[in-house]
């Protein structure tokens, strides 16, 4: 009988715990704490944190290839490229492109903010990472979680957990990371610039936009088709206003369900053996560089456009070119209102903000075209 108890104890997880697993538990608890107590991207960091905990419980076989529950979520949801495009469907149904259509030149701020993606790619390669790993880290600068996950799962799946956590962590830290860069690169006189109101796009125009954009972007970068097509389909649902049930389902039920099945397996890829390496720290540092450079590039682009245009842009809105929607637009508005309380920048900042989402998808498509 004692032998039976011995056998039960030896085969329990307690006897297979390692120091690394305990460290990963701490990381999981920190993410769960940040999500619950500090409201840091809770929709993603909470399931990711729980996924990390599950992946570091010994003998649980949840990530056992071919058998484990979380492995099935990961394999069929992420490796099969289903979940990130479905997230984009929901995001498209939530996105209003009118601020961008009202003032199309703001699209170039969304383009400039991808500068951080490529600068970080170059720095990461210089730091010794492979081309595909460097691309997966660079894309963090786009501040777009699903695109980061999509690209990393295709190019460097071994970095998926670290890259996703870095992306969502920095997106939560946008209000801390961006303002010093924005203030450092602009003068008080620039921060108080009031922008002219753009025209009002017609209903027909907003309905035609997702169709036209799908054609153009897919023709330009076919590997980005899954993301951009779902994004634009969601937006067409929203703007056509004849499929209200589909719009609401995309915005709510579908988006919420796939968010669960995205976060859990992404967290579960972070086991102690693969995560607790100096490389993870490097990824987090490079992710910070990517966010910072993207912010700076957007602001500098706006300043550059002001040199050649009489219709001045408040350069703060360049920072919204990173596609952390709508967090970075809110940060722009807050920093702008510190300089001039009556300057309402939020709607102007939404233009580069939504353009940045498309810019990041194009950047991912370019990486896939060149490196896959």
Q: Which residues bind another protein (CB under 8 A)?
A: 100-101, 104-105, 107-108, 110-111, 114-115, 117-118, 121-122, 125-126, 131, 134-135, 201-205, 207-209, 212-213, 216-217, 220-221, 241-245, 355, 358-359, 362-363, 365-367, 369-371
To which residue do tokens 């969502």 refer? Answer: 168
- Strand, coil or helix: what is 221? coil
Closer by beta carbon to another protein, 125 or else 194: 125
Secondary structure element (H or E) that encloses residue 365, with its range: helix 346-371
Smallest gap from residue 364 Cβ to another protein (A): 10
Smallest gap from residue 209 Cβ to another protein (A): 6
DSSP 321: G
Smallest gap from residue 205 Cβ to another protein (A): 4
Smallest gap from residue 370 Cβ to another protein (A): 5
Smallest gap from residue 142 Cβ to another protein (A): 10
Contact 16, 58 (CB under 8 A): yes
Closer by beta carbon to another protein, 233 or else 266: 233
Secondary structure element (H or E) that encloses residue 147, with its range: helix 145-155
Closer by beta carbon to another protein, 34 or else 117: 117
Closer by beta carbon to another protein, 5 or else 126: 126
CA distances to 137, 176, 204, 266, 303 from 38, in Å: 26, 14, 42, 21, 34
Closer by beta carbon to another protein, 52 or else 109: 109
* Terminal Cα distance for the chain, rounded: 58
Q: What angle do CA 273, 269, 263 make, to 5 degrees?
A: 150
């Amino acid at each position: 009988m004692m032998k039976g108890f011995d056998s039960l104890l030896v085969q329990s997880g307690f006897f297979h715990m390692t120091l690394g697993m305990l460290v990963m538990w701490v990381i999981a608890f920190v993410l769960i704490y940040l999500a619950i107590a500090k409201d840091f991207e809770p929709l993603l960091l909470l399931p990711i944190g729980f996924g990390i905990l599950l992946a570091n419980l010994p003998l649980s076989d949840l990530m056992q290839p071919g058998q484990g529950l979380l492995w099935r979520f990961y394999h069929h949801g992420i490796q099969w490229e289903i979940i990130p495009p479905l997230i984009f469907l929901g995001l498209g149904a939530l996105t209003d492109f009118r601020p961008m259509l009202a003032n199309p030149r703001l699209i170039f701020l969304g383009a400039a903010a991808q500068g951080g993606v490529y600068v970080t790619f170059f720095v990461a390669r210089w730091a010794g990472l492979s081309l595909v790993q460097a691309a997966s880290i660079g894309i963090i600068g786009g501040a777009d979680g699903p695109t980061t996950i999509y690209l990393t799962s295709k190019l460097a799946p071994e970095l998926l957990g670290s890259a996703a956590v870095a992306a969502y962590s920095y997106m939560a830290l946008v209000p801390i990371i961006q303002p010093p860069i924005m203030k450092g690169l602009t003068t008080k006189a620039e921060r108080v610039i009031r922008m002219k109101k753009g025209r009002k796009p017609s209903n027909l125009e907003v309905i035609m936009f997702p169709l036209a954009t799908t054609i153009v972007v897919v023709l330009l970068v076919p590997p980005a088709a899954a993301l951009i097509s779902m994004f634009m389909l969601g937006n067409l649902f929203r703007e056509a206003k004849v499929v209200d049930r589909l719009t609401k389902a995309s915005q709510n039920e579908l988006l919420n369900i796939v968010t669960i099945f995205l976060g859990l397996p992404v967290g579960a890829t972070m086991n102690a053996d693969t995560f607790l390496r100096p490389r993870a720290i490097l990824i987090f540092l490079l992710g910070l560089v990517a966010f910072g450079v993207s912010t700076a590039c957007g602001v500098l682009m706006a300043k550059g456009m002001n040199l050649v245009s009489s219709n001045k842009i408040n350069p703060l809105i360049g920072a919204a070119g990173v596609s952390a929607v709508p967090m970075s637009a809110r940060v722009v508005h807050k920093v702008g209102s510190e300089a001039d309380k009556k300057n309402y920048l939020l709607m102007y900042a939404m233009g580069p903000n939504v353009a940045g989402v498309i810019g990041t998808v194009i950047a991912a498509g370019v990486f896939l075209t060149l490196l896959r």
